[in-house]
Amino acid sequence: MRKGPFIFLLLQIVYFNLYGQSPNMEARTFYPFEIEHAQCLSHNQRTDIKTYLRQNITDLKKAGKIPIQNRSIVPLEWPLRLAEGFTDIDYHGISAFVDHNSSFPSAIEDYNCGARSFDSSSGFNHSGTDIFLWPFGWSMMEEGRVDVVSAADGIVIGKLDGNYDGNCTGQDTTSWNAIYIRHDDGSVAWYGHLKTNSLTTAPIGGVIQQGEYLGKVGSSGASNGPHLHFEVYEEEDLINLVDPFEGDCNSLNTTSSWADQRPYYDSGINRISTHSALPAVPSCPLPEIKNEENNFCEGDDIFFMVFVRDLLLDQTIYHQLIKPDGSVFNTWETTLQSAEHLSASYTFEYAVIPNDPAIGPWEYRVDFLGVTAFHTFNVCMPVDIDEPEVPSKVKVFPNPTSDFLTIEFPQFNTNNIQLQIHNVDGKNIFEQKIESTQAELQLDLSHFSDGIYMVSILENNQRISTNRILKF
Ligand SMILES: [Zn+2]
- Å from CA of 225 to ligand 1 middle: 11
The pLDDT value given to residue 420: 84
Cα-only R_g, the chain: 25
As a whole number of angstroms, the distance between CA 113 and CA 94 comes to 16
Select the more confidently predicted residue: 413 or 8. 413
Given a contact cutoff of 8 angstroms between Cβ atoms, the answer to whether 406 and 441 are in contact is: yes
The pLDDT value given to residue 421: 86
Same domain as 53, residue 30: no
- Å from CA of 88 to ligand 1 middle: 24
Report if residue 260 sits inside a domain.
no
Same domain as 68, residue 167: yes
Per residue in 8-45, pLDDT tens?
222 333 333 333 344 578 999 999 997 778 889 999 99
- Å from CA of 1 to ligand 1 middle: 7
As a whole number of angstroms, the distance between CA 95 and CA 3 comes to 10
- Å from CA of 380 to ligand 1 middle: 47
- Å from CA of 97 to ligand 1 middle: 8
As a whole number of angstroms, the distance between CA 108 and CA 114 comes to 8
> How many domains is the chain built from?
3
**Average pLDDT estimate for 213-217:** 98
Residue 434: which pLDDT band, with cuts at 50, 70 and 90?
confident
- Å from CA of 219 to ligand 1 middle: 11
Per residue in 310-328, pLDDT tens?
999 999 999 999 999 999 9
Residue 2: which pLDDT band, with cuts at 50, 70 and 90?
very low
As a whole number of angstroms, the distance between CA 278 and CA 346 comes to 11
Return the H-helix or E-strand segment holding 131. strand 129-133
As a whole number of angstroms, the distance between CA 441 and CA 409 comes to 8
Same domain as 9, residue 119: no
Report cis status (omega within 30 of 0) of the bond before 324.
no
pTM: 0.78
- Å from CA of 167 to ligand 1 middle: 14
Same domain as 147, residue 109: yes
Same domain as 437, residue 407: yes
Report if residue 316 sits inside a domain.
yes
- Å from CA of 92 to ligand 1 middle: 14
- Å from CA of 31 to ligand 1 middle: 24
Q: Which amino acid is at 472?
A: F
**pLDDT averaged over every residue in the chain:** 89
Report if residue 348 sits inside a domain.
yes
Per-residue pLDDT at 244 exceeds 80: yes
Same domain as 200, residue 63: yes
Residues comprising the chain, all counted = 472
Residue 273 exposure: Cα atoms within 13 Å on the Cβ side: 20
Same domain as 121, residue 224: yes
**Average pLDDT estimate for 255-262:** 97
**Average pLDDT estimate for 383-389:** 49
Same domain as 464, residue 374: no
Name beta bridge partners: 401.
471
- Å from CA of 71 to ligand 1 middle: 28
Select the more confidently predicted residue: 107 or 387. 107
Report if residue 188 sits inside a domain.
yes
Given a contact cutoff of 8 angstroms between Cβ atoms, the answer to whether 256 and 276 are in contact is: no
Same domain as 316, residue 353: yes
The pLDDT value given to residue 378: 96
Same domain as 199, residue 63: yes
- Å from CA of 337 to ligand 1 middle: 29
Report if residue 281 sits inside a domain.
yes
Per-residue pLDDT at 4 exceeds 50: no
Report if residue 17 sits inside a domain.
yes
The pLDDT value given to residue 52: 98
Same domain as 175, residue 48: yes
- Å from CA of 228 to ligand 1 middle: 7
Ramachandran region, residue 298 (left: φ > 0; alpha: ψ -120 to 50; beta: rest) = beta
The pLDDT value given to residue 384: 55
Given a contact cutoff of 8 angstroms between Cβ atoms, the answer to whether 431 and 418 are in contact is: yes
**Average pLDDT estimate for 269-284:** 94
- Å from CA of 452 to ligand 1 middle: 30
Domain span at residue 446? 395-471
Same domain as 224, residue 371: no
Q: What is the CATH number of the domain that holds 284?
A: 2.60.40.1930
